[in-house]
Structure 1
Amino acid sequence: MRKLLNKAQMEMVKVMVKGRAILTGNSGEGMVDSAVKILISIVIGALLLAGLYALFGDVILPTLRQRIQDMFNFSGGVS
């Protein structure tokens, strides 16, 4: 009877040690960090792209268009 109780107690200790190892393990922590880094880089890239698109649409292209028209409408200074 004592042998059976000792065996049951040892099995319970094994289960507790296994459970503690599972609960204290941090094996998935690197995956979460990588996912957060990827999301941050996507958001920053989208903001940068939107800023460049707005800059080109509102500032650079109208100025460039006007300069090209001015070059082709150049009279040459000859009267």
Structure 2
Amino acid sequence: MANFIRNTQVKAMTSIWTAKQKARELADRTAAALTDRTGQGTLDVAITVLISIVLGALILAGLYLIVDDTVLPTITQRIKDMFNYGG
């Protein structure tokens, strides 16, 4: 019985120590992240996002113009021809 109690105490102490160690590591990483003043290229990322949004909008507008002027009238005419079959 004494062995069981001792083993339980050792496991509990090990678990507590592991939890404390993980909490310390988390606190250290958090402190390092909060005190880091490098910015990691925040302005570069913002410019890249803006450029990608503008290019995406231009591509979407171009595709809309192509589909609206070229594809849709052709499809509409083909559908009309298909239903006006005199056959």
Task: Give TM-score scaled by structure 1 length.
Answer: 0.60
How many pairs does the alignment contain?
51
In the TM superposition, structure 1's runs of 4+ consecutive aligned residues that sit over 4 Å from their partners are none
Output the amino acid matched with 2:70.
V
Q: Could you list the runs of 5+ residues in structure 1 that have no partner in the other structure?
A: 1-25
SS of residue matched to 1:69 = helix
Confirm or deny that 1:46 pairs with 2:57. yes
**Shift of residue 29 of structure 1?**
5.4
Task: Kindly provide the CA deviation profile for residues 22-46 of structure 1, in whole angstroms up to 9, marking residues without a partner as x.
Answer: xxxx723510010011011001100
Task: Give TM-score scaled by structure 2 length.
Answer: 0.55
1:63 to 69, 74, 77: 74
Task: Kindly provide the CA deviation profile for residues 33-75 of structure 1, in whole angstroms up to 9, marking residues without a partner as x.
Answer: 1001101100110001000110111000000000000000011
Q: Tell me the C-alpha RMSD between the 2 structures.
A: 1.3
Cα distance in 2 for partners of 1:38, 1:63 equals: 37
Residues 1-79 of structure 1: matches in 2 within 5 Å? 27-28=38-39, 30-76=41-87
Q: Which residue of 1 aligns with 2:31?
A: none
